């Protein structure tokens, strides 16, 4: 019997405390005098005492030399040669936030040093994904002048034919990418991708913007060393773009990524770039933080590539004045509103299809396919389905006998490897372990779904499908004081693989409980000793809340409202007190 329960995603989560040794917590408190909730968090993350200071401060000098990449010296020497010889440099990017910010960053650095540069971003529907022979010719034609050097950002590692075509045209190609390479590597003059070279495991977390930053870093250092230029280029001013791309691409916020984002957020907060200021104003951001990039800035930048032309987003980031920037920000706002409506419609159709066609009690994966679903939003729909059903999700749009789509993973399942086992049924596939793109003939969908389910089932267990909620230990309301929130700011930024602190609090009484909009709740919680704290609970109405006293798992945060900051709990889950 198929599972048609409409509340499937609402079933209870299993609360699991992160494995924290009390001795480790005590050691951190003794050595650093940190508040206990901070020590709980650090111990739960496995951060040992000798690494805590670097974790908290994350100084820029912890970034390693960009010349660790084999071929980096050759790449930047060729760029400086192009500037010297007045050769036109073509940047080929991608249409998502990572690709747009990578292109904007590299273009900015090269132009500041006298380069003649043009930037090409493919159109999702007209050009398709990545660096192809077709996009090469289109980019070269649009440049309007002969190009001798081409740099890819956030793409190109599997573009064998495009690089061969560029070589035939007499164009030197420098590939910068972070995607998984195939069995054959393109014959570019330099390949800047940590996943291609040995000994760069720590840099495999970099996104496209992070790799582009490494190229820019090397370019400036090389220019200074050989007295070619770069003396007035302040790379830190471009780190806002790196932070945008890194957070938006949902790569792990660990290692160098965390350092890049930590300092990039500081630049973002200053809103020195007119485009960032205009977009922040359109997004009603009062005090910009990392989560604003995830939920407000990145979706608006992505909307250009999803529904329209990614160059709108690129022009926003390159805008020289606030008036021009507001024009582009207004366009992005309209596109994002359209994106939200389209995404919601397809999500509801996909969810209905899943309930009707998939036995959720016995399935380890989910797949939904629809006629002419908007290709620009199916990746977001796949993300939502994977999150809501805690299963790897594939969403396909069908048109003219062809199915194109996106997949999102859960847990440690490597989607690229899972898809590789069904390569004979696919016309194309690729991406990250957690996010993939794929295409196939319509008639192969059913066979693919069966194979994909079997491949996923062989890698996951029943335990993997239980939705778990991990928390960093138990705290009391008085411990979430001013000192704690000062350290919380130092521990940021939070994101993928470096999540915000989550704590369990017991025996709380809701002394105030009201609606917040149509789907959310807010109010005040009081403990046994009379201490109180505000709370917000998203996607839980007052009717969803239990009676009596509560146990909650929540993230402490400062709610900035009209210039005033008040502590509050963002409730992740709630249950009656045990």
Q: Which one-letter DSSP state was computed for residue 125?
A: T
Q: Largest alpha-carbon pair distance within the chain? A: 77
Beta bridge partners of 35: none
> For residue 426, what are the contacts with CB-CB under 8 A and spacing of at least 6?
419, 438, 439, 440, 444, 448
Query: Angle, nearest 10°, between helix axes 239-248 and 298-307?
Result: 70
Segment (H or E) for 38? helix 36-44
pTM over 0.85: yes
For residue 24, give Cα distances in angstroms to 52, 278, 489, 565: 12, 46, 22, 32
Report whether 41 contacts 499 (CB < 8 A).
no
Both tokens of residue 546? 């239990």
Exposure b/e, 326-358, CB count within 10 A at least 16 = b: bebbebbbebbebbeebbeebbeebbebbeeeb
Q: Helix (H, G, I), strand (E, B), or coil: what is residue 532?
A: strand
Tens of pLDDT along the chain (578 residues)?
A: 344 444 444 456 889 998 767 789 999 999 999 999 999 999 998 888 998 988 888 889 889 999 999 999 999 999 999 999 999 999 999 999 999 999 999 999 999 999 999 999 999 888 888 899 999 999 999 999 999 999 999 999 999 999 999 999 999 999 999 998 988 999 999 999 999 999 999 999 999 999 999 999 999 999 999 999 999 999 999 999 999 999 998 888 989 999 999 999 999 999 999 999 999 999 998 778 878 888 899 999 999 998 879 999 999 999 999 999 999 999 999 999 999 999 999 999 999 999 999 999 889 999 999 999 998 899 999 999 999 999 999 999 999 999 999 999 988 888 988 999 999 999 988 877 888 899 999 999 999 999 999 999 998 888 888 888 899 999 999 999 999 999 998 998 898 888 899 999 999 999 999 999 989 999 999 999 999 999 999 989 999 999 999 999 999 999 877 667 899 999 999 999 87
Q: Is 535 left (phi over 0), alpha (psi -120 to 50) or beta?
A: beta
Domains of the chain with bracketed CATH: 8-57+469-576 (2.40.50.460), 61-257 (3.90.1640.30), 358-465 (3.10.310.30)
Residue with tokens 């109405």: 541
> For residue 183, what are the contacts with CB-CB under 8 A and spacing of at least 6?
none
CA 124 to chain centre: 19
Which of 324, 326, 333, 409 lies closest to 366 in space, CA to CA?
409
Report whether 50 contacts 57 (CB < 8 A).
no
């Amino acid at each position: 019997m198929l599972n048609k329960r409409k509340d499937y995603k609402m079933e209870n989560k299993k609360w699991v405390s992160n494995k924290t040794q009390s001795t480790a917590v005590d050691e951190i408190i003794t050595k650093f005098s940190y508040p206990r909730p901070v020590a709980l968090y650090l111990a739960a993350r496995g951060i040992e005492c000798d690494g805590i200071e670097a974790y908290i401060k994350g100084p820029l000098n912890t970034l390693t030399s960009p010349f660790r990449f084999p071929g980096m010296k050759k790449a930047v020497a060729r760029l400086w040669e192009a500037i010297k010889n007045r050769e036109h440099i073509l940047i080929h990017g991608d249409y998502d936030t990572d690709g747009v910010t990578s292109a904007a960053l590299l273009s900015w650095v090269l132009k500041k040093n006298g380069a003649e540069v043009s930037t090409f971003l493919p159109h999702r529907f007209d050009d398709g994904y990545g660096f192809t022979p077709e996009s090469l010719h289109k980019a070269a034609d649009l440049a309007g002048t002969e190009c001798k050097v081409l740099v890819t950002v956030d793409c190109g590692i599997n573009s064998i034919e495009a690089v061969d075509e560029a070589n035939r045209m007499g164009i030197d190609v420098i590939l910068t990418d972070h995607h998984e390479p195939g069995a054959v590597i393109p014959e570019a003059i330099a390949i800047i991708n940590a996943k291609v070279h040995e000994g760069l495991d720590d840099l495999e977390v970099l996104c496209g913007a992070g790799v582009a930053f490494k190229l820019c870093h090397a370019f400036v250092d090389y220019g200074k060393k050989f007295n070619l230029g770069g003396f007035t280029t302040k790379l830190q001013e471009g780190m806002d773009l790196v932070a945008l791309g890194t957070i938006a691409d949902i790569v792990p916020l660990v290692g160098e990524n965390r350092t890049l984002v930590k300092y990039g957020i500081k630049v973002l907060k200053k809103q020195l770039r007119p485009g960032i200021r205009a977009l922040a104003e359109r997004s009603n951001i009062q005090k910009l933080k990392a989560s604003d990039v995830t939920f407000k800035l990145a979706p608006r930048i992505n909307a250009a590539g999803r529904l329209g032309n990614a160059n709108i987003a690129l022009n926003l980031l390159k805008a020289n004045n606030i008036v021009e920037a507001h024009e582009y920000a207004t366009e992005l706002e309209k596109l994002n509103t359209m994106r939200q409506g389209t995404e919601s419609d397809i999500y509801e159709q996909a969810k209905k299809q899943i309930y009707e066609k998939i036995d959720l009690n016995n399935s380890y994966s989910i797949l939904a396919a629809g006629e002419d679903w908007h290709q620009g939003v199916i990746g977001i729909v796949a993300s939502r389905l994977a999150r809501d059903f805690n299963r790897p999700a594939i969403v396909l749009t069908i048109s003219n006998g062809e199915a194109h789509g996106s997949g999102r993973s859960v847990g440690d399942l490597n989607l690229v490897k899972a898809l590789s086992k069904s390569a004979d049924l696919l016309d194309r596939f690729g991406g990250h372990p957690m996010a993939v793109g794929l295409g196939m003939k319509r008639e192969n969908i059913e066979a693919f779904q069966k194979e994909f389910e079997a491949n996923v089932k062989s890698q996951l267990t029943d335990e993997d499908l239980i939705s778990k909620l991990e928390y960093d230990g138990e705290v009391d309301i008085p411990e979430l004081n001013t000192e704690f929130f000062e350290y919380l700011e130092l521990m940021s930024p939070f994101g993928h693989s470096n999540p915000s602190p989550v704590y369990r609090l017991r025996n709380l009484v809701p002394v105030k409980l009201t609606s917040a909009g149509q789907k959310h709740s807010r109010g005040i919680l009081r403990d046994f000793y009379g201490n109180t704290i505000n709370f917000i609970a998203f996607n839980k109405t007052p009717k969803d809340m239990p009676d009596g006293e509560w146990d909650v798992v929540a993230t402490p945060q400062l709610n900035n409202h009209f210039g005033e900051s008040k502590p509050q709990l963002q409730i992740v889950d709630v249950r009656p007190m045990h």
